[in-house]
Chains A and B, each alone.
Chain A
Amino acid sequence: MSLKRPIDYGLERLNGLMSDMVNLAGKALKKSIESVLTRVDNIEEVRKMSSQLLFMMDEVGELAVQLIARFQPVASDLREIKSAIQVSYDFSRIGRYAANISEIIKMIPEGGCDFTMVKKLSDIVLEMVEEAGRAYLNKDLKKAEEVRKRDDQVDDLYAENIKHLIQMGGKIDTACLLSTALILRYLERIADHTCYIADSLSYIITGRKQ
């Protein structure tokens, strides 16, 4: 077994932080979806998670700068540090969108809305967030590729659902229509961020952007 390099201790800390972000972002999204589907008010809880993710993103940035200053990393070390900064931003954005989704509960009318479309898309996106996180932490290029492929599915589903909502204009409650459209939009953006995470992983491993 070889000795650890001094930078390895810092990289381990960085990965620990990233792992916490992966878990928290997934949890925040799950809670926010649960919030709108079951109409249980989780706004404060998800908002706190979102703030924590933002705080962790700063921590990742701070640690990354320290590692660059102290160890002058190159090659895969440098790519990993650069990507951690980017990926931590992606997870903080996912947290922010989760907070936005949870806030939609305030728009939902007394009688509730039909969120079948939301449920279908959120199931896919939630899985993408978890898979992108796992792919990143385990440096699994194959899984990252799967995430990218699923984004095409999300884009198609999103376009199809929005088209359907436009056709339904005037036939369903406006608040429901708007809430559904907004949640779909947030989910579609979250899916984009999982793709950016997959791209960052490709960059770490191959040195090339996807």
Chain B
Amino acid sequence: MNWAIEVNNLNVWYGDKHVIKNVSFKVPKNIIFAVMGPSGCGKSTLLRAMNRLLELNPYARVEGQVKINGIDVYSDNVDITWVRRQFGMVFQIPNPFPHLSIYENVALGPKLNGLVKDRSELDELVKQALQQAYLWDEVKNDLKKPASMLSGGQQQRLCIARALALKPKIILMDEPTANLDPVASSKIEELMLELKEEYTIIIVTHNPQQAARISDYVAFLYMGELIEIGETSMVFTRPRNALTEKYVVGRMG
């Protein structure tokens, strides 16, 4: 099988603290893969280890492999820019550049990365990304207005459009709806279901119901260990591990 991503014996330490413990799994292409677990279990760390974002933390140390198309992103000869371009990332708190216009928020990445030849190509790319993020109809007449004028849910979709404009292979989402109201959250979830046709989505969530609603495969992480991984329908009807059972039915802690 041609996997979107393969994680082999991944270990992460923050100083002396071992936070990801020998985690291995494979993610098929064009699915939503959810990583769930209680706060502090290492979900976000795992996500950040995939696109080498952890390197920005001087106390973090990573061992193991994260392979995309068979290439280990931690190999010495791999270019970090190439790694980051494989991934789009969406964070818990929508973080558009508030003073830049809606247009510029999406256009900045492709411009800096030399993805377009001229203005008309850039216009087309921005439009396409906003359409893919189901935001175009709401902002097409306000492209020059600052991103800060958008609602929280719209800002999050703008961040998704910004990620899509760089044509990533995998979209990493770290609690993308944690700060949104139910209506805006549903929109993001609907959007994810659309996007998986073209991308592979890895979402971190502390909300098991969200994982149950949208993911195809789910992994349960607890204290840095991968406790269980499987098809979402199985994990939520008959989990194999007693800890997973406790977590999904809300008896943990």
- Whether chain B is bound by chain A comes out as yes
Q: CA of A207 to CA of B238 in the docked complex: distance in angstroms?
A: 5
Beta-carbon contacts under 8 Å, B161-195 to A: none
One of A19-27, A68-76, A94-102, A138-146 contacting the partner? A68-76
Q: Would A74 and B208 count as touching, CB distance under 8 A?
A: yes
Confirm or deny: B249 has a beta carbon within 8 angstroms of a beta carbon on chain A.
yes
User: What string of 1s and 0s marks CB contacts (under 8 Å) between B224-253 and chain A?
Assistant: 000000000000111100000100111100
B223 at the interface (CB under 8 A from A): no
Nearest chain B residue, comparing its CB with the CB of A82: B237
- Nearest CB in chain B: distance from A85 CB, A: 15
B81 to chain A, nearest CB (A): 41
| Interchain CB contact under 8 A, B238 and A73 | no
Instruction: Determine the residue in chain B with the shortest Cβ distance to A206.
Output: B238
Please tell me if the beta carbons of B249 and A75 are within 8 angstroms of each other in the complex.
yes
Q: How far is the CA of A208 from the CA of B239 in the complex (A)?
A: 11
22 contacts between A and B (CB under 8 A): A2-B251, A5-B249, A5-B250, A7-B250, A72-B209, A72-B212, A73-B249, A74-B212, A74-B236, A74-B237, A74-B249, A75-B236, A75-B237, A75-B238, A75-B248, A76-B245, A76-B249, A78-B236, A78-B237, A79-B237, A207-B237, A208-B238
A79 touches B212 (CB 8 A): no
- Give min CB distance, B49 to chain A, whole Å: 28
Binding site for A on B (CB under 8 A): 208-209, 212, 236-239, 245, 248-251
CA distance A207 to B248 in the complex (A): 15
Query: Is B251 a contact partner of A5 (Cβ separation < 8 A)?
Result: yes
- Closest chain A CB from B115 CB (angstroms): 42
Q: In this complex, what residue of B is CB-closest to A73?
A: B249
Complex CA distance for A62 and B66, rounded to whole angstroms: 49
Residues of chain B within 8 A (CB-CB) of A206 are 238
State the interface size on chain A (CB cutoff 8 A).
14
- Chain B residues near A207: list those with CB within 8 A: 237-238
Alpha-carbon distance between A208 and B238 when the two chains are bound, in angstroms: 8
Give the chain B neighbours of A75 by CB distance below 8 A: 236-239, 245, 248-249
Q: Which residue of B lies closest to A2 (CB)?
A: B251
Minimum distance in angstroms from A15 CB to a CB of chain B: 16
Instruction: Point out the residues of chain B lying under 8 angstroms from A78, CB to CB.
Output: 236-237
CB distance from A96 to the nearest CB of B (A): 31
Per-position binary interface string of chain A over residues 62-92, scored 1 when its CB falls under 8 Å from any chain B CB and 0 otherwise:
0000000000111111110000000000000
Q: Complex Cα distance A54/B251, Å?
A: 33
Query: Do the beta carbons of B251 and A74 come within 8 Å of each other?
Result: no
Across chains A and B, which 9 residue pairs bring their CB atoms closest together, nearest first? A207-B238, A74-B236, A74-B248, A77-B249, A75-B248, A75-B245, A75-B249, A5-B250, A75-B239
B241 CB to closest chain A CB (Å) equals 11
* Complex CA–CA separation, A170 to B209 (angstroms): 66
Q: Give Cα A207–Cα B237 distance, bound, in whole angstroms.
A: 8
How far, in whole Å, are A208 and B249 apart by their CA atoms in the complex? 18
Residue of A whose beta carbon sits closest to that of B250? A5
Give every chain A residue within 8 A of B249 (Cβ-Cβ). 5, 73-77
Mask, A174-210, CB within 8 Å of B = 1, is: 0000000000000000000000000000000011100
**Chain B residues near A2 (CB-CB < 8 A):** 251
Q: How far is the CA of A79 from the CA of B245 in the complex (A)?
A: 12
